[in-house]
Amino acid sequence: MRRVLSRIKNFFSPDKQLSAQLEHLLGFTPKHLPYYQLALMHRSKVDELARNNERLEFLGDAMLGAIVGEYLFKKYPTQHEGYLTELRSRIVRRETLNNVAMRMGMNKLVQYNSHDKGLDRSHIFGNAFEALVGAVYLDQGYPRTRTFIIKQFLHAYIDIELVAATDTNYKNQLLNWSQRNHRAIEFQNMEESREGTRKSFTIGIMLEGNLLCTGVGYNKKHAGQSAAKKAMEMLANEEE
């Protein structure tokens, strides 16, 4: 009955289109739509903390990490802590979440400053997905949140065996290459700039004291990973 009443309420709501889109995305009918509207509001649109999704992102990040961690703990009963931690990290990393969020169509729902071109290359949609998880938790409670993450995220979009077999930590790959080949590698901060409302960082890869390549990201970690990926590709081409 509550589900029927919720459908009727949303049908006559001015936000019935959003309700329908969310129901398709989530697999259930939202009860309290403002949670989800807040989850889809990026700070570039509304800077006021109480009206953008940053706090919900914090909550969703915690829920996502806990539920994915529990799922992996049960799926791999003989694996050690380091393996589970690394696998969880790969699943919930910003690039993965951003890719999944865009495949879900969240890029069509998130409210952000479309004139800030730097945001198109950032991870705002992955961040909004975390905020959406926070909204689901507040609206539906833990059991429904767990079901949503497992069915609508892990089962629908994540090939865990492929993730486990793929090493995406390019910085570690590059440092291992450096040790194997006895060649000095150094990560160097090159530049900090601002694109719209966000800071941008440039990290350079120094090989034997010479600049090999650079990478750009919205934090130093992502910039370093981007640079390391380019470096590994360049070094692989040299070895062929």
Domain count, the chain: 2
Last residue of a domain, one of 132, 165, 198: 165
For residues 222 and 102, which has the higher predicted lDDT (pLDDT)? 102
pLDDT tens by residue, 11-28: 445 578 888 899 989 999
Alpha carbon separation from 204 to 48, 66, 220 (Å, rounded): 35, 35, 11
Q: Is residue 7 part of a domain?
A: no
Q: Annotated active-site positions, please?
A: 61, 130
| Claim to verify: residue 232 and residue 115 sit in the same structural domain | no
Lowest model confidence (mean pLDDT) among 3-17, 51-65, 91-105, 163-177: 3-17
| Claim to verify: residue 156 and residue 40 sit in the same structural domain | yes
For residues 13 and 213, which has the higher predicted lDDT (pLDDT)? 213
CATH code where residue 193 lies: 3.30.160.20
- DSSP3 helix / strand / coil % (the chain, rounded to 5): 65, 15, 20
Share of residues in the chain with pLDDT > 90 (%): 53
pLDDT grade for 171, boundaries at 50, 70 and 90: confident
Last residue of a domain, one of 144, 165, 186: 165
Q: Is residue 132 part of a domain?
A: yes
Q: Is residue 124 part of a domain?
A: yes
Count of residues making up the chain: 240
If you average pLDDT over residues 156-161, what whole number do you get?
Answer: 94
Q: Is residue 136 part of a domain?
A: yes
Q: Is residue 6 part of a domain?
A: no
Last residue of a domain, one of 135, 165, 195: 165
pTM: 0.70
For residues 31 and 169, which has the higher predicted lDDT (pLDDT)? 31
| Helix, strand or coil, per DSSP, at residue 198 | strand
Token couple for 89: 């990290």
If you average pLDDT over residues 161-172, what whole number do you get?
Answer: 81
| Claim to verify: residue 154 and residue 194 sit in the same structural domain | no
Range of the domain at 76: 14-165
CATH code where residue 94 lies: 1.10.1520.10
